[in-house]
Amino acid sequence: MRRFVLPMPWKPKFKPERPQNMFNRLFEKKHSDSLIDLLPGVRGRYKKDEPLKKYTWFAVGGPAEVMYIPADIEDLAFFMSTRPHNLPILVLGGGANLLVRDGGVPGVVIKLASPEFKKYSLGDHTITCGCGMYNVDLQKIMIENRIGGLEFLSTIPGTIGGSVKTNAGCYGREVKDVIISVRIVNGTGEIRDIPVNELMLSYRSSFFPEDWIITSITFRTTPDTPENIARTIAEQKKKRLKSQPHNVKTAGSTFKNPEGLKAWQLIKKAGCDHLSIGKAKVSEVHCNFLVNTGGASARDIETLGEEIIRRVREQTSITLEWEVKRVGVY
């Protein structure tokens, strides 16, 4: 009898997939598809497994299970009133003050990126801006319409909506100094106007139920000349470029200033001003900024931040509080 002998050593070209791994992969696909199927029919768009790193300044993090881009405020209100009960929701603004973890964000990430959320209208010494408008876009609007008072806001990275929720500020002014009211869609799909006194704005924080979504903001303005507005903006930009890192992947100030103190001074005192973990490092320009030097993971950045907190607490007995918002799963 003729025998055939395989040459040794022999290895299969393709490693067979374990049944359990195959089941997990099929289950994950089915689960993601089923979430889309459970969501209400809207005029906006749904995107499945949308990478979030391209929407954030750190440029790290996993995908959104589903991203929803509403067509307008009525579309958003319909979604909120008919969505599945207990559906996890995250509103994504300009991504300038956000760290998305590597495992991504389960549920639905709402991105108010349609043109309807970027419009503005002028009133009697007021301006109402859609929350999807970027702060930097205010500069041209202010100069063309001879309205001042918001120069500080126009130099802060991010969107108008995000600036309100964090009560953003710089150069001695905060959003709470100029805001009149906000329009929101709440968890049941109701559209409401909320006056500033109900927002409870304080240092880098505000009172907002998790299911409130800001759609537009009305600010107080003051008449001014285009020359004065342009000069004030230019001066503030110059200060920012001199004292803060730019053209790098960073999310702005990492930690809030403790009352009466400066976070960067505490970081420096604890010897953390040259600290790095993986591809994440403390900025050489301003040590309250963390930087993705290229290829950092969200875990690198968050671990670096937690190590700074630990060392500052060990050296000074003060616990720094994150200003950057961390979302998603590991």
Given 151, 174, 302, 323, the catalytic residue: 323
Are β-strands 105-111 and 89-92 bridged in parallel, bridged antiparallel, or unpaired?
parallel
Supply 174's token pair.
Answer: 């905060």
C-alpha distance from residue 247 to each of 94, 251, 274 (Å) = 16, 12, 19
Asked if residues 137 and 115 have their Cβ atoms less than 8 Å apart, the reply is: no
Map residue 249 onto helix, strand or coil.
strand
The active-site residue, picked from 173, 204, 299, 326, is 204
Eight-state DSSP code of residue 16: P
- Catalytic: 204? yes
Amino acid at 145: N
Annotated active-site residue 32? The verdict is no
Q: Which of 120, 115, 130, 134 is nearest to 70 (CA)?
A: 115
If we measure between CA atoms, which residue out of 150, 156, 164 comes closest to residue 213? 164
Is 114 marked active-site?
no
Look up tokens 């403790």; give the residue: 258
Closest CA to 60 of 320, 309, 307, 305: 305
List Cβ neighbours of 68 (8 Å cut-off, separation of 6 or more).
39, 42, 44, 45, 46, 47, 79, 108, 109, 110, 111
Catalytic hit among 253, 297, 302, 311 = 253
Straight-line distance from the first to the last Cα atom of the chain, in angstroms, rounded to the nearest whole number: 60
* 6 vs 215: CA distance, rounded Å: 69
Q: Which residues are catalytic?
A: 204, 253, 323
